[in-house]
A and B are shown apart, each in its own frame.
Chain A
């Protein structure tokens, strides 16, 4: 599992709402704290990445958010502009604004055009060795396959031109499991589990990107072992309630209810987790590294939660 951080490019994806951004931020922070120069890039610019580091809003131009750690947000127009000025060496970048906008426009019809600019920028950072690791807070499971399969799609549609020339080296990076991997984030709930299993199959069938692992986020703590659970059930006895209510001056029923709520929720989720383990291995055609991140009982999200996620991921990598 430790080789996860040896990869140069990690796409973090998963169903909407499972905590992709938090996991991406934690992963990048962990890599940075282990001495790697890390870049983390938010592709769906919603601003949550900046919040994870309590940093000012991220831009296309990366900014440092922690020692060894830089953050940026993707902007396909800016990315194209950067690319064109590097490739075409146009004086004063004539007409680039229009071209960039046209690109966006064409991207409405042609598959892969917008995606290739996004993926291209990330691959370029890897190729130029600007960073030891690039963590991508990527698009959700519904869109990631289109993004990662963009170079092939472009190959099919565009016969000549600069864009076409670029797909070769990008595919080399994307297809190399030593360099690139996808990490799917899930929670132990029915819908995210189903979507994760489907995505594992689609990544394998439709892209050349290697599945680096699955992160199970928001795993609830196990309150009781088997013997403790028996004792817990015995607490339902009315005689127990009398003693507890006398000692606590009431309220024992609610406290036990809250514990029951947790036990029940965890049990339901344990089933989903089991389903996830089996389904992922089956869809991938072999074992897939699983990393478990506990549910964080925190007041709010920010640098503190990002650090805790980084610590949890770090512990998982050691195990």
Chain B
């Protein structure tokens, strides 16, 4: 499982050369842990101030990074915690858990024409739904917070764990959608004062149907909210395009995490295919939960077949009085040997399927690291470091 030196160094290069690394990929592949491990390795080996910005981490991982207390604020992982885990980092590791609500509030306060309007927006029940519960707002707010952190310039490297979107692609489209939202004809239709609606003959069927479907009271509530929200328009649109520019900047790199299961690979491929069109830079892929390479060796598959076929004969030999398993029932030993052979064939099938997926995924894309399935999920700093050693060149991986 040793990686080639060429592959190994590209990860180191990437983390050293970039200011932002966006970790993305399908759900359930271990993005959050990988993002934490990348940031931790960067802080250990390269020094400087490294921040990992994460969204909704598993509770135990959050605790491992000291994130349990204060969402929305960066906190340094204390050097003592590293010392306890047997590591001595050259730089500083900081971690922040994204707070959607706080980030939205900050954004509104920044772009509202005055304090009063800002407060009215923040108090509006529809706004509270956008900022607190509404899921897609995560996507935009994550990039927005990233932009804010980057422009403050307090960190040498920011590693972002992207939110669990329904589709990894949603994350990329978020700034564009935000801009489109404000320029939409629909927004204008909704925010037209009620009386002039009656005058606008072309739009009348629209209002008729909308009223009947949603009820006019609800429509008015919505209109009121959007009228307020429109005051943010200029600031938001300008900001969204800056955010988009930052994502496309050479200093930003995207790292795609995937397992080698069929469905995640398909989603990861679709995601990577979108990057060039958006002029975004793909740093490479990190493969997670990968089976060891020896399982694909044909030589061993042949041995496994042979073992299945000759299990009983070998058992007889092992169990004879002078044999190493003298006294054990040969029939039982034969069954165990047969299982060992069958098991190899089973895992080998999966390993070969994965190898095929790997070839497809890695065509034209550097594989930055390939991490085996570890027995335990990451739940303390030692676990993050352990995962990191598998990722980092020259580690256990």
Contact call A259/B339, Cβ cutoff below 8 A: yes
B206 surroundings in chain A (CB, below 8 A): 95, 98-99, 102
Q: What's the Cα separation between A43 and B71 when bound, in Å? A: 32
Q: Shortest CB–CB separation between residue A250 and chain B, in angstroms?
A: 7
CB of A143 closer than 8 Å to a CB of B: yes
CB of A109 closer than 8 Å to a CB of B: yes
> Of residues 200 to 237 in B, which have CB atoms within 8 Å of A's CB atoms?
205-206, 208-218, 221-222, 225-226
Q: What's the Cα separation between A221 and B340 when bound, in Å? A: 12
Q: Which listed residue (B336, B346, B376) contacts A190, Cβ 8 A? A: B376
A138-171 interface mask toward B, CB cutoff 8 Å, 1 = contact, 0 = none?
A: 0110110010000000000111111110000000
Contact call B303/A146, Cβ cutoff below 8 A: no
Given known pairs A44-B167, A99-B213, A109-B222, the reply for A228 and B129 (CB within 8 Å) is: no
B164 surroundings in chain A (CB, below 8 A): 16, 140, 142
CB of A240 closer than 8 Å to a CB of B: yes
Given known pairs A163-B215, A250-B303, the reply for A191 and B58 (CB within 8 Å) is: yes
A94 surroundings in chain B (CB, below 8 A): 205, 209
CB of B373 closer than 8 Å to a CB of A: yes
CB of B12 closer than 8 Å to a CB of A: no
A230-254 interface mask toward B, CB cutoff 8 Å, 1 = contact, 0 = none?
A: 0110110101101110011111101
Q: Which listed residue (A84, A108, A256, A262) contacts B209, Cβ 8 A? A: A84
CB of A110 closer than 8 Å to a CB of B: yes
Contact call B299/A99, Cβ cutoff below 8 A: no
Contact call B307/A258, Cβ cutoff below 8 A: no
B26 surroundings in chain A (CB, below 8 A): 16-17
Q: What's the Cα separation between A49 and B143 when bound, in Å? A: 31
Q: Shortest CB–CB separation between residue B360 and chain A, in angstroms?
A: 12
Q: Shortest CB–CB separation between residue A91 and chain B, in angstroms?
A: 10
Q: What's the Cα separation between A161 and B59 when bound, in Å? A: 42
Contact call B347/A261, Cβ cutoff below 8 A: yes
Contact call A235/B336, Cβ cutoff below 8 A: yes
B323 surroundings in chain A (CB, below 8 A): 239, 243
Q: Shortest CB–CB separation between residue B260 and chain A, in angstroms?
A: 12
CB of A281 closer than 8 Å to a CB of B: no
CB of A255 closer than 8 Å to a CB of B: yes
Contact call A158/B261, Cβ cutoff below 8 A: no
Contact call A108/B303, Cβ cutoff below 8 A: no
Q: Shortest CB–CB separation between residue A158 and chain B, in angstroms?
A: 5
Contact call A251/B339, Cβ cutoff below 8 A: no
Contact call A248/B306, Cβ cutoff below 8 A: yes
Contact call B205/A190, Cβ cutoff below 8 A: no
Contact call A95/B349, Cβ cutoff below 8 A: no
Contact call A108/B136, Cβ cutoff below 8 A: yes
CB of A2 closer than 8 Å to a CB of B: no
Q: What's the Cα separation between A162 and B226 when bound, in Å? A: 22
CB of B181 closer than 8 Å to a CB of A: yes
Contact call B325/A254, Cβ cutoff below 8 A: no
Contact call B129/A109, Cβ cutoff below 8 A: yes
CB of B16 closer than 8 Å to a CB of A: no
Given known pairs A44-B167, A109-B225, A255-B300, the reply for A190 and B377 (CB within 8 Å) is: yes
Please tell me which stretch of A26-34, A127-135, A175-183, A292-300 contacts chain B, meaning at least 4 of its Cβ atoms lie within 8 angstroms of it. A292-300
Contact call B129/A146, Cβ cutoff below 8 A: no
CB of A58 closer than 8 Å to a CB of B: no
CB of B328 closer than 8 Å to a CB of A: yes
Q: Which listed residue (A17, A90, A251) contacts B264, Cβ 8 A? A: A17
A142 surroundings in chain B (CB, below 8 A): 56, 135, 164
CB of B29 closer than 8 Å to a CB of A: yes
Q: Shortest CB–CB separation between residue B128 and chain A, in angstroms?
A: 10
Contact call A105/B303, Cβ cutoff below 8 A: no
Given known pairs A94-B205, A239-B324, the reply for A297 and B349 (CB within 8 Å) is: yes
Given known pairs A191-B28, A258-B295, the reply for A108 and B130 (CB within 8 Å) is: yes
Given known pairs A90-B209, A161-B213, the reply for A105 and B187 (CB within 8 Å) is: yes
Closest chain A residue, CB of each to CB of B353: A299
CB of B133 closer than 8 Å to a CB of A: yes
Q: Which listed residue (B166, B217, B343) contacts A143, Cβ 8 A? A: B166
Q: Shortest CB–CB separation between residue B172 and chain A, in angstroms?
A: 16
Given known pairs A101-B186, A224-B336, A243-B317, the reply for A159 and B343 (CB within 8 Å) is: no
A17 surroundings in chain B (CB, below 8 A): 26-29, 259, 261, 263-264
Pick 30 A–B contacts, CB within 8 A, sort by A.
Answer: A16-B164, A17-B264, A95-B205, A95-B206, A105-B181, A106-B214, A108-B136, A109-B222, A110-B222, A111-B133, A146-B133, A159-B218, A161-B211, A162-B213, A162-B214, A190-B377, A224-B339, A227-B332, A231-B325, A231-B328, A235-B336, A235-B337, A240-B324, A244-B337, A247-B317, A252-B307, A255-B304, A258-B295, A258-B348, A261-B347
Known: A111-B134, A255-B344. 9 other contacts (CB 8 A): A99-B209, A109-B226, A140-B164, A142-B164, A143-B166, A242-B324, A247-B314, A248-B303, A258-B347
Binding site for A on B (CB under 8 A): 26-29, 56, 58-59, 125-127, 129-130, 133-136, 164, 166-167, 181, 184, 186-187, 189-190, 205-206, 208-218, 221-222, 225-226, 259, 261-264, 266-267, 292, 294-295, 297, 299-300, 303-304, 306-307, 310, 313-314, 317-318, 323-325, 328, 332-333, 335-337, 339-341, 343-344, 346-350, 352-353, 373, 375-377
